[in-house]
Structure 1
């Protein structure tokens, strides 16, 4: 059926066709800021078996940006179609997906995970929440760890030497822009760490190719939903940055940006051990805990890389500025504490 492009297309007739059951009414409200795409929360009435609460994800309302965002839309739709059934990461169940031929319009109908609440990137998380999140992350990485068939998926990209050089050319000026924007708040040592990261990123991004797998790319608190305490079961959303690379980038990015540096330093060994044990539960062999922790140290450059680029190319907001500053400060501290730059 045609791609539903906009909330006005979420009609009872359209949903009746999708669910192959009568839908009598649909009410929707917009949620989120809609910078990359548009999200709507649906209330649905209909026959038994039709979900009563859904989230619809669609393309950005700004049509001028859709061509640029097409690869991200294709990655997310393809994740739910091709990858989600083959891994064990908790993510919303997808009831329906559609993507236009040119990739500029899409729709996903996902379970509404109410009453789960979004993580708060500014506030950070507790070590208990972090343990929940890293165990879930292993459910993405473990089942397809070093799986050569991932390279057969035409939409799943890996960074090559030319891409690495281009990334370095883009990242270095973005670091200077970031340092200028936050000159009043960013410590000199953090500016030095960002600049040293820029100098190392081309070599880093293609290093250690012997371990590869699925990389969420933006596995952080704002992209996780947590059930009400004391329940556990963090759920990951927003799969538009999925790629092929070193899996530990996700782990280092999450711990480096989500925990207060003191909490991270105190708990990171046990958290990496929990992740490693979960990997072993998915059959990952020949990968010791010491080797895993060394990869975690090496992968910490993911923190400033994603933070600075996100700041440079995202729509500027007051909360966004505070969030990016907190993420940069935390991840730079992790790089120094772990000696990550010395591993490249």
Structure 2
């Protein structure tokens, strides 16, 4: 693309800009990785996902349209600029400040987009070929994952609240049993797996300013997995007990109603609730990894507090015995 002018958008984990190309009346959105190896690898994965979506004419139109895709040594994306018609329901700063509850209309738009995406990818034949499975041996597998999470916890445990360490010790000790009894059979069954975005915070959605559907952006971490993990990411990572009260189960029921409406059969609401607990077991350990990887305490501590509260309220410890 021959760029005539660019406005840097100042994101922290990639280089993004609104760009105006010569001869084009509208702006586009340019996304490039930083110089970090992880950012380049993530950009390659995201470019591959957009190329895959572009090849599927029946894919729901809730992923921004890619105008140009560059992968290989220098991956990049040029996406349609939706800022005239859409906005983020919540900023990252608002999320970290504890103001993480968008309007009810925005919540429903986000849940609808998740239901449409997951219904489309539900038991899709491309799973395991063009779309990687998170728990496959080729990816990482569960036992290496559990070992890595324990090693991260051992390095940062002195920085964590003592009550949190009690939970984490029990959680990490119980992971082999959890895999053997619960998650392993769920994944091995191969049914009811779907697309997992992996970073489905409200700030990664674009909701309509007036009418229309929401879009989900930042596809750097997608894979095949138990889809309810995105709902945990959406609600439990930064919602306090008070913010979750009443909303959480209501949105889960609304998601399930729409998922069934978009064609998913044989998946009861109780199945979703169990999958949500699986997502909580996974996400409860994420703040530990964040702390290990150098994230600011102001980021990982409120996230840890919210997730462990949800872990406790949903009786997730029962899955570890």
Identify the residue that residue 156 of structure 1 maps to in structure 2: 132
Q: CA deviation at 1:89?
A: 6.2
1:167 aligns with 2:136: no
Q: SS of the residue aligned with 2:76?
A: strand
Once residues 107 and 153 of structure 2 are traced to their aligned partners in structure 1, the CA distance between those partners, rounded to angstroms, is: 28
1:91 aligns with 2:63: yes
1:295 aligns with 2:275: yes
Once residues 214 and 153 of structure 2 are traced to their aligned partners in structure 1, the CA distance between those partners, rounded to angstroms, is: 32
Identify the residue that residue 219 of structure 1 maps to in structure 2: 200
Once residues 328 and 266 of structure 1 are traced to their aligned partners in structure 2, the CA distance between those partners, rounded to angstroms, is: 21
> Which blocks of at least 5 consecutive residues in structure 1 are unaligned?
1-9, 13-25
Q: CA deviation at 1:232?
A: 7.0
> Which blocks of at least 5 consecutive residues in structure 2 are unaligned?
none
Q: CA deviation at 1:111?
A: 1.8
CA contact (8 A) 1:45 1:52 kept: no
Could you list the per-position Cα deviations for residues 204-259 of structure 1 after superposition, in whole angstroms to 9, with x for gaps in the alignment? 4645113311111111133223445x767442111110111111111122221142
Once residues 279 and 136 of structure 2 are traced to their aligned partners in structure 1, the CA distance between those partners, rounded to angstroms, is: 17
Once residues 176 and 231 of structure 1 are traced to their aligned partners in structure 2, the CA distance between those partners, rounded to angstroms, is: 49
1:285 aligns with 2:257: no
Once residues 316 and 277 of structure 2 are traced to their aligned partners in structure 1, the CA distance between those partners, rounded to angstroms, is: 5
TM-score (norm: length of structure 1): 0.78
Range moving further from structure 2, 281-290 or 68-77: 68-77
TM-score (norm: length of structure 2): 0.83
**Count, aligned residues:** 301
Once residues 121 and 302 of structure 2 are traced to their aligned partners in structure 1, the CA distance between those partners, rounded to angstroms, is: 32
Identify the residue that residue 6 of structure 1 maps to in structure 2: none
Could you list the per-position Cα deviations for residues 107-145 of structure 1 after superposition, in whole angstroms to 9, with x for gaps in the alignment? 100122225135332121246233332221112211121
Q: SS of the residue aligned with 1:326?
A: helix
Q: SS of the residue aligned with 1:52?
A: coil
CA RMSD after TM alignment? 2.6
CA contact (8 A) 1:221 1:258 kept: no
Once residues 299 and 194 of structure 2 are traced to their aligned partners in structure 1, the CA distance between those partners, rounded to angstroms, is: 28
Q: CA deviation at 1:310?
A: 3.6
CA contact (8 A) 1:303 1:328 kept: no
